[in-house]
A and B are shown apart, each in its own frame.
Chain A
Amino acid sequence: MMDSLPHLSTEFFTWLWWSTEQGGGRLTVDGEEIIAWVDDRMAFRLPSEDASRAVLTGADTARAAEAKAAMAAGKIIKELRVRLQWADREYGFTLKGSGLDVGGLVLPALPDDGDEQDRLMLRMEAIEALWAVLGAIYRQFAAARTSDEWQTEVVPSIQQWLTGSA
C-alpha cells in the first residue's frame, strides 16, 4: 500500500504555484512546453485541521496578496484550481487533498458526433493525457524535493517570493 503522505501534496501545490509564477506560466515537461497557471480558486487550511480556513476566488487569485498572506499566517494549500495548456488542448481542474482528487474538470473541446462509446473513449483518453502530464509535473517536483538544492535554494526562493522580497 502506498501512503499518500499529506504534507507532500500541500508542498506540491505550493511548489506548483511558485513554479508557474516564476516561469511566466511556462513549464517544460518531458521536453514539451506547457503553459500552466493557478486559476480562480485557492483554498487554505491550518496544518492541524481538515476544514478550509480561507478560500480565495476570482480573477488573478494566484497573485492576490491574500494568498501569500494566508501562507505567511501558517496556512497551507488545501485545494488549487489549475489551468494547463499544451498543443491544442486546454484543461481546467481543481486538485484536492493528499490523493489529488480532481474537481470541476473541464476537458478540451472534443468531437461530439459519435455514439456513447465514442464519447467515452475520447473523454477517457483526454483524462489519461492529463494524468500523464500531471505525473510528469509531479516527477519534477519529486526530483526537486529530494535534491540537495531543495533546502538551500528552492525553499529560500519560495519564502522570499511569499514575503515579497524576491
Chain B
Amino acid sequence: MGFLKGRLNFRRYRVVDPLPDDYRDRFEQAFTEHAFRDKAVISRGEETMGWVRADNLLETDFSNRDRWLYTHYVMAGMRLDKKTLPMPLVRAMVEQRVAAWCTEHGRARAPASVRSDIRSNIEDDLLSRTLPTVKVVHFCWNLPEGWVLFENTSEGMNDRFRTLVRNSFGVALEPFSPLEFLSETPELVEPLAAAGMTVMGGGAQ
C-alpha cells in the first residue's frame, strides 16, 4: 500500500461538506454499515463492494478505532469483488450440452428456452466454482483540512469511490482543481479561469 510503503498513485479530492462534531461515532457506524460483505451467490458480472480495514482486506471490524483513525487521518480500503467467466469455455460447454440434448430427444435443434436453461445452469455451476477477482484501493482522509487521497486514478474506480463515500458518510467529494492552488492569490483565479487556449506548438491547446 503506497500510503505506507513504496510508490503511490492518487487522485486528490476536496471534501465539500463539513464534518459533524461526532464524526468518530458516525464514521465507525458508516464503516460498519457499509463494510464489505461476502455474498453467498454472485451473478456473472455483478460487483460486491464495501469497506475493509487497511491492514487486511479480510478485516471488516471497525470497532477498534486505532485500526482506521491515525491522529487526524482516516485510512481504510475500498474492496471490490467481481466474478467473470471464460466465455469461450462457456460457449463451448453450451454447444456440447445442446448437441447432447438434441441427440437425446431426437431433435435437429433445441428450443431457445432449453438453450437458455442449459446456459444458465452452466454459468451457475462455473460461478459457484470460480473465485472472484479482488481489488482493494486505499484512501487517506485528512479530517481537519478536508481532503482525501484515493490510491487510484481510473475514472471507473473513482466514480465507485465517490458513490460509496457519499452513501456511507453522507459527504460529497470534489475532484481537485489546480485553481485551488490559487487560494493565496485569489486575484489570479478569475483571469486564469477566463484564459482561452494558447497556440504553442502546431495546434491550439
A associates with B: yes
A1 & B178 in contact (Cβ 8 Å cutoff): no
When the two chains form the complex, which single residue of A46, A76, A99 contacts B12, counting CB atoms closer than 8 Å? A99
- Is the CB of B76 closer than 8 A to any CB of chain A? no
Q: Are the C-beta atoms of B195 and A2 separated by less than 8 Å?
A: no
- Please state if A124 and B140 are interface contacts (CB–CB under 8 Å): yes
Give min CB distance, B194 to chain A, whole Å.
9
Q: Which of B7, B73, B177 contacts A99 (CB 8 A)?
A: B177
Interface hits, B179-205 → A, CB 8 Å: 179-182, 184-185, 188, 191-193, 195-205
User: 1/0 per residue A112-127: CB within 8 Å of B?
Assistant: 0000110111011001
Cα(A100)–Cα(B179), bound, Å: 11
Output the least CB separation between A105 and chain B (Å): 4
Asked whether B5 lies within 8 Å of A103 as measured between CB atoms, the reply is no
In terms of DSSP, what is the predominant structure of the interface of chain B?
mixed
Interface size on A, residues (CB 8 A): 56
Which residue of chain B has its CB nearest to the CB of A68? B201
Contact A105 B200 (CB under 8 A): no
Are A145 and B200 in contact (CB-based, < 8 A)? no
Contact across chains for A121 and B10 when beta carbons are under 8 A apart: no
Looking at the complex, which one of B55, B153, B179, B204 makes contact with A116 (CB distance below 8 Å)?
B55
Interchain CB contact (< 8 A) of B181 among A46, A101, A138, A150: A138
Assess whether B11 is interfacial by the CB under 8 Å rule.
yes
**A96, chain B: closest CB distance, angstroms:** 7
Q: A residues within 8 A CB of B191?
A: 146
Q: Does B175 contact A (CB under 8 A)?
A: yes
Residues of A within 8 A of B176 (CB): 4, 99-100
Tell which of A46, A100, A134 has the most Cβ of chain B within 10 Å.
A100
Residues in A with CB closer than 8 Å to B108 are: none
A146 to B193: give the CA distance in the assembly, Å: 10
Known A3-B177, A103-B153, A138-B178; contact A159-B7, beta-carbon cutoff 8 A: no
* Any B CB within 8 A of the CB of A74: yes
**Given the contacts A123-B3, A139-B181, A146-B195, A1 and B174 also touching, CB distance less than 8 Å:** yes
Report Cα–Cα, A135/B12, bound state, in Å: 13
- What is the bound-complex CA distance between A100 and B198, given in angstroms? 19
Segment with Cβ contacts to B, from A10-18, A35-43, A80-88: A10-18
Pairwise interchain contact B200-A162, C-beta atoms closer than 8 A: yes
Q: How far is the CB of B185 from chain A (nearest CB, A)?
A: 6
Please indicate the chain A residues that have their CB under 8 angstroms from the CB of B149 in the complex: 127
Q: B70 on the interface (CB 8 Å rule)? A: yes
Bound complex: CA A72 to CA B203 (Å): 8
Closest to A138 in B: B181
A74-B203, A76-B201, A139-B188 given. 12 additional CB < 8 A pairs? A1-B174, A3-B179, A10-B205, A97-B153, A101-B10, A117-B70, A119-B5, A124-B3, A142-B188, A146-B191, A159-B200, A159-B201
Tell me the A residues contacting B by CB distance below 8 Å: 1-5, 7-12, 14, 46-47, 70-76, 96-107, 116-117, 119-121, 123-124, 127, 131, 134-135, 138-139, 142-143, 145-146, 150-151, 155, 158-159, 162
Enumerate the 9 nearest inter-chain pairs by beta-carbon distance, A residue then B residue, closest first: A74-B203, A71-B201, A2-B177, A135-B181, A74-B202, A146-B191, A101-B153, A105-B8, A138-B181
